[in-house]
Amino acid sequence: MNKVISVINVLGILWKIAIVTGKQCVKSNHCACVFDDGSGTIDLSPIGHKDGTAVFVDRPSSTDAYWYSYNPCGTFYEAACVNVAICQYDAANYIFQVCQYDPVKYVFQDIGVPDKVSFNYNGLYVVAQYQSQDGFRNTFVTLVCDQRKTQPALDVIGGTTGTDYYMTLTTVAACPVPSPQPSPEQEGGGLSTGSILLIIFFVLLFVYLAVGVTFNKVWRDFRGIEVIPNSEFWATLPGLVRDGCALSLATVCRKRSVYVSM
């Protein structure tokens, strides 16, 4: 009972942390979720069986008398559990139930299907929440990242109520994988900021010249080079640039000579 209370208290603390952080792992499919801050993707597909069997079969719980089977990605079959992700097995009542009508109906119970999974980040870990097909039961699987766990490990806590169950899955697959950065070709050859600024500059220059020339020619009846707007300024601009460069060069040389003399 103390273990159950501790689990509930820990989950409550983690839920408060999640409210503070605001970060979430958005479901992309029943095997993966993507962090909304761009920090990466958690994908369980590498450790899931695709042949209708479970990765973890009949694992005992640390808090109740039931055994549990779990396939992190994909469905499996176990007696009355059909197309499930998690199945609960009542081993203690199996012998009694075989004498009853429909013996496996209550011995094996669906407590989570892949189609009804959601991912929630609690501030420390991503928790995969599976719901049974009938919607009455929930299983919460805490995904713990461990780069050394190439072979996944499952710790079954079991049921804290009649409808909620808890597990901890430790695996390298729970570690966020950074999303690949698309190349410029993959992005459709988008323009850089410099290119956009150059385009804006030349467009404005064209508009300035077109409007200025038209105004000077039509309204002011100018001819020749005078039709260029502010022609006096443009005529003196090369000389101003030359004088500016000469002044800058002289200043640099003077500072250098002073530095050498010191």
Give per-10-residue mean pLDDT for the chain (262 aa).
47 47 87 92 94 94 92 91 93 56 68 95 94 94 94 93 93 89 54 76 74 72 70 69 67 51 49
Close Cβ partners of 110 (under 8 Å, ≥ 6 residues apart): 80, 81, 82, 84, 86, 87, 88, 132, 133, 134, 137
> Is residue 24 a contact partner of residue 118, using CB atoms and an 8 Å limit?
no
- Residue 23 dihedral angles phi and psi, to the nearest 5°: -75, 140
Q: How far apart are CA 89 and CA 165, in angstroms?
A: 13
What H or E segment, with its residue span, contains residue 255? helix 231-261
pLDDT for the residue numbered 135: 92
pLDDT for the residue numbered 19: 46
pLDDT for the residue numbered 106: 63
The pairs formed by 32-36 with CB atoms below 8 angstroms and a separation of 24 or more are: 33/119, 33/126, 34/179, 35/121, 35/176
pLDDT for the residue numbered 54: 95
Helices and strands in the chain: count of H runs, count of E runs? 4, 13
Domain 2-174 top-level CATH class: mainly beta
pLDDT for the residue numbered 13: 46
pLDDT for the residue numbered 117: 96
> Is residue 145 a contact partner of residue 173, using CB atoms and an 8 Å limit?
no
pLDDT for the residue numbered 260: 42
Structure tokens at 213: 């020339």
> Is residue 151 a contact partner of residue 124, using CB atoms and an 8 Å limit?
no
Q: Going edge to edge, which strands form the sheet with 32-35?
A: 25-29, 32-35, 41-43
* The dihedral formed by the CA atoms of 234, 239, 243 and 249, expressed in degrees to the nearest 10: 100
pLDDT for the residue numbered 3: 47
